[in-house]
Amino acid sequence: MILRADGVTLGYGGRPVVHDVTLDITEGGVGLIGESGSGKTTLARAFLGLLRPMSGTITFNGKDLRTAGMKAFRKAVQPVFQAESLDPRMSVARSIAEGSRDRAAVPALMEQVGLDPALAARRPHQLSGGQRQRVVIARALAVRPELLILDEPTSALDVTVQARILELLEGLDAERLLITHNLAVVERLCRTSHVLFAGRVVESGPTGELLRRPAHPYTLALRDAVPRLGGQPPVARGRTEAAPASEGCPFRLRCPLAVPECESAPEPREVAGRKVACHRAELVLSA
């Protein structure tokens, strides 16, 4: 385990948006799944040391991030943001060498991520989306990180390019924390996943199991909302427009299975090999 969040609450301007999250980034890839605004990116920023927790601790190799040596941390943990995260004024070579300051290593890094080194002098707007994403990956790899925090690395790419980028990510040595709303990508890259809703982890467990047999109605709603080719049309379960409830289970105003008991906040508990924060988990599993 490299990184661990322990009872972490995060927010902006004193207003919490991620509440009391405890999770480990373990081997085999960890996925953070959830809709826009669920707190995935906020959590990723905290794991990257860009955001201080309001409460709780984030530990890096057992040391509190507030006291850990940031130099070693910066080398060990690198983000892979979306393809648009390149400075528009910097050439590919300068972007890739920014952390390592080793321009000589740029051609090899470009080849490693499947880019022609002849593109080194180009600027981001002179590249395709897929090429830009590869540059972002090469920039992160330049400092030989132990862990990559992948924040929606494929969401802006078309499906064929997406497939190639996923292949590339799968083949990398570094561990990964993947933040996405794309369940297929999580299934492919992550052994463990955590589902976030309204800044709370509502379900955690092995990715395959979690997606095949969700135990939380929100995970079920996410899974069933995925469009499929030639199959059932996607299903929007519950009242998808309802805002999260401020008290009790945050999902209860959307949940088709909500009962009066849901007005009290559910504690995470072990159900069928995963942790679920839902009073109706058994019912969801049996559905």
Residues in the site for other proteins, rule: CB under 8 A? 45, 48-50, 70-71, 74-75, 77-79, 81-82, 84-90, 95, 98-99, 116, 118-119, 122-123, 125-126, 136, 139-140, 143
Report in angstroms how near the CB of residue 81 gets to other proteins at its nearest.
Answer: 4
Residue 23 parent element (H or E): strand 15-25
Gyration radius of the chain's alpha carbons: 20
Q: Which of 158, 276, 142 is nearest to 218 (CA)?
A: 276
Report in angstroms how near the CB of residue 234 gets to other proteins at its nearest.
Answer: 30
User: Please, which residues bridge with residue 63 across strands?
Assistant: 60
Looking at 38-158, which runs of residues are DSSP E strands? 55-60, 63-64, 77-80, 147-151
Q: What is the Cα–Cα distance from 234 to 225, expressed in whole angstroms?
A: 5
- Nearest CB to other proteins, comparing residues 74 and 164: 74
Report in angstroms how near the CB of residue 75 gets to other proteins at its nearest.
Answer: 7
- Nearest CB to other proteins, comparing residues 3 and 222: 3
Collapse the DSSP code of 36 into the 3-class scheme (helix H, G, I; strand E, B; otherwise coil) and give the result. coil
Report in angstroms how near the CB of residue 117 gets to other proteins at its nearest.
Answer: 9
- Nearest CB to other proteins, comparing residues 117 and 244: 117
- Nearest CB to other proteins, comparing residues 176 and 279: 176
Burial of 203 (0-12, 13-18, 19+ CB in 10 A): buried
- Nearest CB to other proteins, comparing residues 128 and 240: 128
- Nearest CB to other proteins, comparing residues 5 and 115: 115
Looking at 35-190, which runs of residues are DSSP E strands? 55-60, 63-64, 77-80, 147-151, 175-180
Report in angstroms how near the CB of residue 237 gets to other proteins at its nearest.
Answer: 33
Please list, in sequence order, all residues whose beta carbon lies within 8 angstroms of the beta carbon of residue 62, skipping any fewer than 6 positions away. Answer: none
Report in angstroms how near the CB of residue 124 gets to other proteins at its nearest.
Answer: 9
